[in-house]
Structure 1
Amino acid sequence: MTHQHHLDAQSALWSLRAAREALDVHVYAAQRERGMALVEAADGIGSQRFGTRRALGGRPGDPTANAAVNGTAAASASAVLSRRAEQLAASTTATLAWLARELRLAGASDPLDRLQAAAAALPVHHAARLALWIAEADQRIRQYLMLPVDEHLQAEQLAARLTTADRPITADRIWDWARRSRRRGDKLHGLLPAVHTPGQRTGNAWYRVRDAERVLTVTARAKASVGDQAA
């Protein structure tokens, strides 16, 4: 039987996967920016009056030397940002690897994949512990990148989240939205993609909460438009 701790752990793992992918993109961009800044600082800037100057040297008031100094400072700032992102990525991977070892999830694949594949079958107390560790790792990345919460839920949970006193939502409705999201030509096409545990094409699907909220807005507007036309 699936416990709430299992659902919490799996939801946190999906959120961390998205955050980790965003961090990887950030690390690549920071490394590229650092490399470009270093090249610019090393090359210096040519000047017809003063010649080519680099970070050190130059005559008093030489704007070319000043520009080179600024380039070196920019390279140093880029290097600091790049190192911070790299350290966060490395520490996150180390945490995932440690969790996989603690749960005896052997394998050479990404530890996040192994944790996601095993989360639903973990003992309840292990799932609860995993959810806490993963949520903390996810929060660190999202705070660093200033990312919003990216929560994933299954259809039943999602329906309960979206339901209000005057607007009941059922799991069947969520599944209908997901089917329409896969149907080309439908106004909901592509709006509610489902994700599955890595390595599994079938099984329980997970949906991003903010995607479902967008679908709810689109369908509500469509319903209001039909009502206006009928009136």
Structure 2
Amino acid sequence: MILHHHPFLPACRFARLALAEHAIDVELKLEPFWEARPEFVAINPGLTLPMAYDNGRGPLIGARVLMEYIDERYGDMRAAHRLMPADPFQRGEVRRLVDWFLIKFEDEVSGPLVTERILKLEIPAKRGGGAPDSGAMRAARQNIVGHMHYLGALTASRHWLAGDSLSFADLAAAAALSTVDYLGEAPWDADPAVKQWYQRVKSRPAFRPLLTDKARLVAPAPHYADLDF
């Protein structure tokens, strides 16, 4: 599969985790979406990432679309460990939590922090780059506390976020948190149970490539690649 991505967009990290959990070979293509390459705009006018092609078929645009495709096309490979549960109610809960972390958490926390601290350093000023907005970062740092408490409530009552088994919900949440953790902005002391859950996801083989990602102009937090932090 060919995956057009940016390494610090949570939706792209989620796609990479989902593909790795299904042992799907992937060719990564870095897509600086702000450049709006004519070839990219022609097939993806919304400039949405991730975007994938599978054996020449595509494009599959957006993390949710790709999640559903991976489950329908490759889900049987995981047999009893499928990342989308068989029960309709549980499937609904997985999708709800995926949206929570790829939309709500993105809007309130990871999006502002990644944009202000990483992307604005890569994007030319004429396309929206430049100095970070301290107000946006301050709001994100306030917002993340509530999200950590919500994660704590989920981990207190469930083995994994959506139930008894690892699911796409865990991958979406971990993908979103990993971008914040790279920047040293995750308040792990807010809830020890959340840290323990994240360590379990972070220790999975599928997660290892994310721990080698490096932003061009921003170094990772010292503990970022440590499994026992």
Give the greater-gyration-radius structure (CA): 1
Higher helix share goes to which structure?
1
| TM score, norm. by length of structure 2 | 0.31
TM-score when scaled to structure 1?
0.30
Q: Which has the higher strand share?
A: 2
